[in-house]
Amino acid sequence: MEKILEKYAQLVVRAGVNLQPDQLLVINAPIECAAFARKIAAAAYTAGAHDVIVSWNDEKTAKIRYDMAPTTVFGEFPEWRKQLYVGYAQQGAAFVSIHAADPEIFSGVNPERLAAAQQAAGEALKEYRERMMTNKNSWCVVSIPTEAWARKVFPGVDPELAVEQLWQEILAAIRVNTSSDPVENWELHLAYLEKARTFLNHQRFTRLHFQNGRGTDLQVELPEGHIWASGAEYTEDKIRFVANMPTEEVYTLPKLDGVNGRVVGTKPFTYQGSLIENFVLDFEKGKVVNYRAEKGQEVLENLILTDAGSCRLGEVALVPVDSPISRSGILFYNTLFDENASCHLAFGKAYPTCLKNGENMTPAEREAAGINESLLHEDFMIGSEDMSVTGITADGKEIPVFRDGNFVDFN
């Protein structure tokens, strides 16, 4: 297992952020993941890192704070933490985030406190998030099991065994095993995603039509000059990196006022430590006009009402149901994994890199081009085994993209 973890850490450094000699690396890590953070740090120094900075977080302490701190605290964001992210980003650092949260750690917390903290963090880290979403810096999000997360995924299983089972699922999803080089495995996988991306970019669709038997009937207009992206991305210095490990998606941005119809969620998703389940959204001219959820209604409402752009979409992503994560049949309660088992959309900020020259546009130019802006970017899953996606071209031609939950043949 130690050798496998070292392979995993090397994969994150070599293929994830593709760390360059003398570059800084910042690791965001829960304290439960300290051992793996140290392996990433060692792999980074081996790769020639100038320095490695670790930003620790502890969701249990955060829970105490949400329950007991004075209300005014949640409208504040520490200047030192802002400078940690913004300052190192300005110096060209690469960023690795280990995402391994307890899916329901903050259930029962006053939603207004969570919303205020989200707003304060979003405002303080706006420059940092802009740099990440325009690929000024390389970044990568990965996961390892924690006991609280594993117990949620495998309820009723002995905690130690649950962690072991979750490890096996994660290692399979990120293509790390004992018999092959994971970097080579990823080269093959990225090549497949590149074929799908090339197919979609060649079509120049003006609109996508999503339909399934669960009630989804959604028209998503795509702005002129939109770009489909896949697993491999590039910084402005042409350094290739992989932002998410695992990744099975090909994605672009919708036009901010061009989404109409109904979409039905097919998997729960976690927001601010609470679950939102069995939800339905109605869109008109890009904006959510009606919404309901069997669980997490108030949390969903706070998400949608965060700012002017949080009620609109910033991403549309295609993921086949025969992807390895989907075939596992496991609900991970972790967006990094669940979004790669299902077609999904995202509330909030769009990736400017998904529009020609979008990363160089002013805010006003982005809005005019149809790029949504928001303090947040939150994915939610809509895919199903009967999902149909049809692309419509400028001359009205309809081209099948997905049938029965999978890509049509794009070779």
Pull the structure tokens for residue 332: 């991970």
pLDDT per residue as tens digits for the range 276-292: 999 999 999 999 999 99
In the chain, domain spans: 2-173, 182-407
What integer pLDDT is reported at residue 409 of this predicted model?
81
Could you tell me which residues are beta bridge partners of residue 270?
Answer: 275
Type and span of the H or E element at 290 = strand 287-295
What integer pLDDT is reported at residue 324 of this predicted model?
86
What integer pLDDT is reported at residue 270 of this predicted model?
87
| Phi, psi (rounded to 5 degrees) for 384 | -155, 170
Lowest mean per-residue pLDDT among 6-10, 32-36, 183-187, 225-229: 183-187
183 burial level (CB within 10 Å; 0-12, 13-18, 19+):
middle
pLDDT per residue as tens digits for the range 81-127: 999 999 999 999 999 999 999 998 998 999 899 999 999 999 999 99
Close Cβ partners of 177 (under 8 Å, ≥ 6 residues apart) = 4, 171
CA–CA gap between residue 39 and residue 389 (Å, rounded): 42
| Phi, psi (rounded to 5 degrees) for 285 | 50, 40
Amino acid at 149: W
Mapped onto helix, strand or coil, the DSSP state of residue 50 is coil
pLDDT band with cut points at 50, 70 and 90 for residue 274: confident
**Domain 2-173, CATH number (from 3.40.1410.10, 3.30.70.20, 3.40.50.300, 3.40.1830.10):** 3.40.1830.10
What integer pLDDT is reported at residue 406 of this predicted model?
93
Q: Average pLDDT for residues 256-267, to the nearest whole number?
A: 97
CB atoms within 10 A of CB 71: 10
Q: Average pLDDT for residues 394-411, to the nearest whole number?
A: 91
Close Cβ partners of 127 (under 8 Å, ≥ 6 residues apart) = 86, 89
Q: What does the H/E/C string look like for 199-256? A: HHHHHCCCEEEEECCCCCEEEEECCCCECCECCEEECCCCCEEECECCCCCEEECCCC
Average pLDDT, the chain: 95
Q: Average pLDDT for residues 150-177, to the nearest whole number?
A: 94
pLDDT band with cut points at 50, 70 and 90 for residue 411: low
Close Cβ partners of 222 (under 8 Å, ≥ 6 residues apart) = 205, 206, 207, 208, 252, 253, 254, 255, 258, 316
| Phi, psi (rounded to 5 degrees) for 260 | -140, 140
Specify whether the CB–CB gap between 231 and 242 falls below 8 A.
yes
Pull the structure tokens for residue 380: 């939610």
CB atoms within 10 A of CB 180: 11
Question: Is it true that the peptide bond before 352 is cis, omega within 30 degrees of 0?
Answer: no
Q: Average pLDDT for residues 37-54, to the nearest whole number?
A: 98
Residue 178 has pLDDT above 70, yes or no: no
Q: Average pLDDT for residues 217-246, to the nearest whole number?
A: 95
What integer pLDDT is reported at residue 21 of this predicted model?
97
Residue 295 DSSP code: E
pLDDT per residue as tens digits for the range 297-327: 999 999 999 999 999 999 999 999 988 899 8
CA–CA gap between residue 327 and residue 194 (Å, rounded): 21
Most distant CA pair in the chain, distance: 59
Lowest mean per-residue pLDDT among 37-51, 164-178, 290-304: 164-178
Amino acid at 239: I
Residue 161 has pLDDT above 90, yes or no: yes
Residue 158 has pLDDT above 90, yes or no: yes
Residue 213 has pLDDT above 80, yes or no: yes
Length of the chain: 411
Please report which residue ranges of 79-136 form alpha helices under DSSP H. 79-90, 111-124, 126-133
Percent of the chain with pLDDT over 70: 99
Amino acid at 52: V
